[in-house]
Structure 1
Amino acid sequence: MIRDFFRILKMDLTTGKATLLERPGRNQYLGGTGLAAMLFEEFGHLDRDWDDPEQPLIFAIGPLTGYYPLMSKTCCAFRSPYHNQYAESYAGGKSALSLRFADLDALVVVGRAERLSALCVGSRRVETRDVEYMRGFDALRTGRIVRKIFPGSGRRSILRIGPAGENLSAYACINVDTFRHFGRLGGGTVMGAKNLKAICILGDRGFDLPGGKEYSALYKDIHKQLTTTEMMAKYHGLGTAVNINPLNELKSLPWKNLQQTSSPEADNISGERFAQDTLLRNAACAGCPVGCIHVGFVREQFQANNQYLYRQVGYDYEPIFSCGGMLEVTDAPQVLRILDVIEKEGLDNMSAGVALAWATEALEKGVITLEQTVVPLAWGDAENYMRGVEMISRPPNDFYRLLAQGTLKCARVYGGEDFACVLGQEMAGYATGEVFFISEALGFRHAHLDSGGYSYDQKYEDKNVTQALDFLVSDARERIVLNCMVGCLFARGVYKDALMAQALEAVGYGALNESLASIGERVQRLRWRLRLGMGYDPLKVTIPKRYTEVTTWKGPIDPEYLDALRIGYAARIMEMGAPLPETGE
């Protein structure tokens, strides 16, 4: 049903009370990231820390969710345990479509349950269950049990955490329907602080599709572009893992804690090698015909009875970079074994891999000792990296307790800050150059998808600071509009402005078309205003020395260009986050 207001379920875990709310603002915030920021402004507390029970955990979808292919993501917003500021993460799976079928635009969870609990929400049902017996259960086992506790149809989505979230690692993730995740900046930690082990979203209600030929014809056209043209072919074929060899050739592949930007061993963990040696099947988020999720298998032999166990493990570029190249693990099945442990413990794979890479180099250089790492972390040693993952999730000592709060926080205590590969959070896998380093270090989510900084580095060899900054701001704003929808960013080449306008028009939201650009700017400003209001100071951001020591396809990194971008982008952020004088927004 097309509506100009938002329908929100607010769940208070402290009181057990659920409240159905309606809020205006569709024409100002669209949905998704805009709706989440609007709701955080209403329910969040700028003067309280991330773990205050009244801080909200927000899940929001957009106006096109369920109506078109790849409008399949959910925006999760919260005050992050990683840096104690406003943050977002995105995931697919069934979460978005389940919220649509539950007739909700957003779910807001506040409070803290007295005992470990699971929450079930739908259009006709809100229920919490005491699941204290599940404390310590891994994320995959938790999913299996929650599916039995809350039976439902294929429209059901299961969100859950592992031990890392319960133990408040700052980069614990939320596992969504097994192969997708709200990965970055600690959404799973927020659930752990709320004593919330799992959320089941029941899509227990239908919704009408627009009538008439216009919508049907447009849907078919979009579906055709996504499935029969080359634009999306790589995502279904080898998936994002196809990036390994091209980035290696560009000398832009982080390797061995960024001591190198290429390696002759990279082909052993390339997308082609994973497909040849490990690929079991493709999977897709609900409402997506592309199938970019690549599921590999790992096999282990039990010596006692000579039996074999096979497990399915999802992979794509980022997990391979962080738990393969950064750790110099150059055997595809061994990378999957590390990822399998990360999945069970419920950690963000990029942060976990990069943290262990720093710890390996720190141990090698004598900055830390074997007494602190417990096991002799060494490049390529998958077995001990698997044990390291478990110790980040379930810390046995002060070293791992601190490492679980972030690599740079640990390095500030033990030493080794110069080679901590942290750009706001543990880095993403693109050592493309100065623009990307700054875009991730200062970007709103500290994510490689905040803007196309990695792409800009590969297109431009000049060092035009103003041009680069203009690109970062404008590209981020365009992505914000798609994140308001909430569409998969893989499809941004299909959902251009004109097609987006047609899509909105065909489902009854055509009145929003003229204001899309202003909505993008409004949301961009609001998000920065929230972060700055929580203490973020972009002028104080520093770039670890390691980033000035690397060489890419353009040659050595230019420290002066890097610093000019840092200062310039910080100034742009301060400007975007300032109140608008004419409105006071």
Structure 2
Amino acid sequence: PNPGFRTIMRIGLAGERLVRFACVVTETYRHFGRLGLGAVFGAKRLKALVVSGRRSLEVPDRRGYREVYDELYELSTKSNLMRKYHDLGTPMNVLPLNEIGALPTRNLKSGRFEHAEGISGEHMAENYLIRRAACSGCPVACIHLAGIREPYPHEKYFYKTTTVSYDYEPTYSLGSMLGVGDAKWLLRLIHEVERVGLDAMSTGVALAWATEALERGLISEEDTIVRLRWGDAEAYRSAVSLLIEQPNDFYAALAQGVERASQIYRGSEFAMAFGGNEMPGYHTGPAAHIGFLIGGRHSHLDNAGYSYDQKRAELPDPEQVVDDLMAEEAWRMVLNSLVVCLFARGIYKPETVSKALAPLGIRLSVEDLRDLGWRIYRERMRLKMNMGFDPSGLRVPGRIFETPSPHGLISPDYVQRALEHYHERIKELCSP
């Protein structure tokens, strides 16, 4: 119903098989990727949701609405705030992060990847980019689509072209994290992960842990079935299929996430998960990892600790880092509630949001909005704790203290102080 006015959200085989990091795909190229929403759909035997409609909302102040709209449109299309997302997209992060030693490589054994150039945003754009696309109603077009041209085996001069959406996070997790430096094979691997409906970050981190566990002799090829080796994208593509099939105890455990697999097979010190969620692609310093640990979803998008690291030559005391990241997350509660794309967070400052809501008849001051963000944050944390979350029980992967970051070696004491302060803040915030 209502073609052109609908959104389809669906799961793939991963969700059907209850892989804990299965995602929900929406608008073809975007995902509810983290925390296994696809497995929730699968557990409920729900394959897809279609949302459609034709109603519009009445705008009390049409002139004011138009003025704010034009202002936001100008900022989105003509300022530098969104330019990078349109031009190279988030894969532009590959080379700068590699340069400063913050690109997780081979399960974070290193922060630099010798083949980073071959999977960079620049290389992708010059050799594989075929077009850009945008989410509904967005003028930025940050979705970058690559084309893979493959010959049919028995048809001369006959080719199949596969379109693959690529971003920084799949590039890191299925590229540098696995030692895969060939762009074409990286795109094939991304396509396979997309096809079955897995979260790319969790998949790459899980396979990176498995590769190192195999190297160390904690598991055997009898467990992995295929020989996992850094850079062997074809083997990793086979392993993706095995994650779906779960033909033995090892893949059944790995399908529950790297946290669970490392509890069974050991190797938790290099199991790169925070709060049970596999790590994003940033080893920028302590604030990034503190952000992963204390974020409500244990995601880099909760509070941007990775950005906090990069903007400061020297970091403040860990208690101040926690306070700043919590405040950032509380503000993002407002942006998320308004369904604002976090790529545009530089545009939607509190003053702008207040101004944008006014023509709709919603009068909220900057202070009102910030208070609302903290209220949402508090209720979410109360819900998490009621469901069993214990801030004092967060596990810190030892690997983050072994691999130098742009801020040098991360101090375990610094991170521990941050977690202790966070625990106290949460107890105070969530008390009746």
TM over 0.5: yes
Matched, 1:242 2:92: yes
> Does the 8 Å contact 2:309/2:315 carry over to 1?
no
Aligned to 2:251: 400
Aligned to 2:35, what secondary structure does the other structure show? coil
2:32 is the alignment partner of 1:182: yes
Q: 1:492 aligns with which of 341, 345, 352?
A: 345
Give per-residue Cα distances to partners, 1:486-507, cap 9 Å, x unaligned. 2011111111111111101011
In structure 2, C-alpha distance between the alignment counterparts of 1:562 and 1:435, rounded to whole Å: 9
Contact in 1 for aligned 2:318/2:415 (Cα 8 Å):
no
> Shift of the alpha carbon at 1:421?
0.9
Structure in which a larger fraction of residues adopt strand: 1
**Structure 1: how far apart are the matches of 2:175 and 2:46?**
32
- Is 1:290 aligned to 2:143, yes or no? no
Matching residue within 113, 120, 129 for 1:279? 129
- 1:566 paired residue among 411, 419, 424: 419
The yes-or-no answer on 1:230 pairing with 2:83 is no
What SS does the aligned partner of 1:247 have? helix
Q: 1:304, CA displacement in angstroms?
A: 2.1
Match for residue 376 of structure 1? 227
The answer as to whether partners of 1:277 and 1:332 remain within 8 angstroms in 2 is: no
Which of 316, 323, 340 lines up with 1:470 in the alignment? 323
What amino acid sits opposite 2:47 in the alignment? K
Residue 71 of structure 2 corresponds to which residue in structure 1? 221
Written as runs of structure 1 = structure 2, the 5 A alignment for 1:27-106 is none
Tell me the distance in 1 between the aligned counterparts of 2:154 and 2:211. Answer: 33
Q: What percent identity do the matched residue pairs reach?
A: 46
Give the structure 2 partner of residue 519 of structure 1.
372
1:349 partnered with 2:208:
no
1:84-119 CA-to-partner distances (Å, cap 9, x unmatched) read xxxxxxxxxxxxxxxxxxxxxxxxxxxxxxxxxxxx
Deviation at 1:218, TM superposition (A): 1.4
The runs of 5 or more residues in structure 1 that have no matched partner are 1-150, 580-585
3-state secondary structure, aligned to 1:188: helix
Give the whole-Å Cα distance in 2 for the aligned partners of 1:526 and 1:175. Answer: 27
Are residues 1:263 and 2:113 paired?
yes
Task: Look up the match of 1:29.
Answer: none
Q: CA RMSD in A?
A: 1.4
Partner residue, 2:386: 533
Which residue of the partner structure matches residue 438 of structure 1? 290
Question: Shift of residue 301 of structure 1?
Answer: 2.1
Q: Is the Cα contact below 8 Å between 1:157 and 1:200 reproduced in 2?
A: yes
**Paired residue for 1:409, among 234, 238, 260?**
260
| Cα deviation code 1:126-182 (max 9, x no counterpart) | xxxxxxxxxxxxxxxxxxxxxxxxx54111111111111011111110010210110
1:322 aligns with 2:145: no
1:508 aligned onto 2:365? no
Counterpart residue number, 1:142: none
1:251 correspondence with 2:90: no
The amino acid across from 2:118 in the alignment is N
Task: Tell me how far 1:332 sits from its aligned partner.
Answer: 1.2
User: Paired residue for 1:546?
Assistant: 399
Tell me the CA shift for residue 211 of structure 1: 4.7
CA distance in structure 1 between the partners assigned to 2:285 and 2:335 by the alignment: 26
CA change 1:206–1:475 in 2 (3 A) is closer
Q: How much does 1:413 deviate?
A: 0.7
**Does structure 2 conserve the Cα–Cα contact (< 8 Å) formed by 1:253 and 1:261?**
yes
Any idea what the Cα deviations from partners look like across 1:349-372, whole Å, max 9, x if unmatched?
Answer: 100011011111111111110011
Q: In structure 2, what is the Cα distance between the partners aligned to 1:280 and 1:550? A: 37
* Paired residues of 1:435 and 1:565 also in contact (CA < 8 A): no
Superposed, 1:190-229 pairs within 5 Å as: 190-229=40-79
Please identify, of 298-307 and 537-546, the stretch whose mean Cα deviation from structure 2 is larger. Answer: 298-307
Aligned with 1:515: secondary structure?
Answer: helix
Q: Provide the rounded CA distance (Å) in 1 between the counterparts of 2:53 and 2:237.
A: 36
Deviation, 1:194, is 0.8
How much has 1:335 moved relative to structure 2?
0.9
Separation (CA, whole Å) in 1 of partners of 2:147 and 2:154? 22
Select 1:301's aligned residue among 126, 151, 157: 151
The ranges of structure 1 where at least 4 consecutive aligned residues each deviate by more than 6 angstroms after the TM superposition are none
Secondary structure of the 2:211 match is helix
Question: For the structure 1 residues 544 and 513, does the alpha-carbon distance in structure 2 shift closer, same or farther, using more than 3 Å as the test?
Answer: closer
Q: Aligned-pair distance for 1:513?
A: 5.8
> 8 Å contact 1:173–1:346 — kept in the other structure?
yes
What SS does the aligned partner of 1:494 have?
coil
Which of 409, 422, 430 is equivalent to 2:273? 422
The Cα of 1:576 is off from its aligned counterpart by 2.3
From 6, 10, 15, give the equivalent of 1:165: 15
8 Å CA contact 1:245, 1:270 repeated in 2: yes
* In 2: Cα distance, 1:167 partner to 1:212 partner: 49
SS in 2 for 1:231: coil
Choose 441-450 or 451-460, whichever is displaced more.
Answer: 451-460
**Alpha-carbon displacement from aligned partner over 1:215-241 (angstroms, at most 9, x marks no partner):** 112111110111011111000000011
CA distance in 2, matches of 1:180, 1:516: 28
SS in 2 for 1:449: helix
For residues 22-71 of structure 1, give each alpha carbon's deviation from its aligned partner in whole angstroms, at most 9, with x where no partner exists: xxxxxxxxxxxxxxxxxxxxxxxxxxxxxxxxxxxxxxxxxxxxxxxxxx
Cα contact 2:226–2:235 (8 A) shared by 1? yes
Secondary structure of the residue aligned to 1:555 is: coil
Question: Contact between 2:128 and 2:147, CA under 8 Å: does it hold in 1?
Answer: yes
Matched residue SS, 2:47: strand
Please tell me whether the aligned partners of residues 442 and 570 of structure 1 are also in contact (alpha carbons under 8 angstroms): no
Q: What do the CA deviations read for 1:370-426 (whole angstroms, capped 9, x no partner)?
A: 011010011111111111111112211111111010102101111211111111210
| Cα distance in 2 for residues equivalent to 1:169 and 1:574 | 33
TM-aligned CA deviation for residue 288 of structure 1: 0.7
CA distance in structure 2 between the aligned counterparts of 1:577 and 1:362, rounded to whole angstroms: 39
Hey, what's the Cα distance between the residues in 2 that align with 1:278 and 1:495? 32
Asked if 2 retains the 8 angstrom alpha-carbon contact of 1:254 and 1:321, the reply is yes
The alpha carbon displacement at 1:210 in A equals 4.6
TM-score of the aligned structures, taking structure 2 as reference length: 0.96
In structure 1, how many angstroms separate the alpha carbons of the residues matched to 2:430 and 2:146?
43
Contact 1:265–1:330 (Cα < 8 Å) also in 2:
yes
Q: Which amino acid aligns with 1:453?
A: G
Q: C-alpha deviations, 1:466-485, integer Å up to 9, x for none?
A: 22122111111111111121
2:4 partner letter: G
- The 8 Å contact of residues 91 and 121 in structure 2, kept in 1 or not, is answered as yes
Asked whether the 8 Å contact 1:347–1:393 carries over to 2, the reply is no
| Counterpart residue number, 1:61 | none
Relative to the length of structure 1, the TM-score reads 0.72
Moved more, 212-221 or 332-341: 212-221
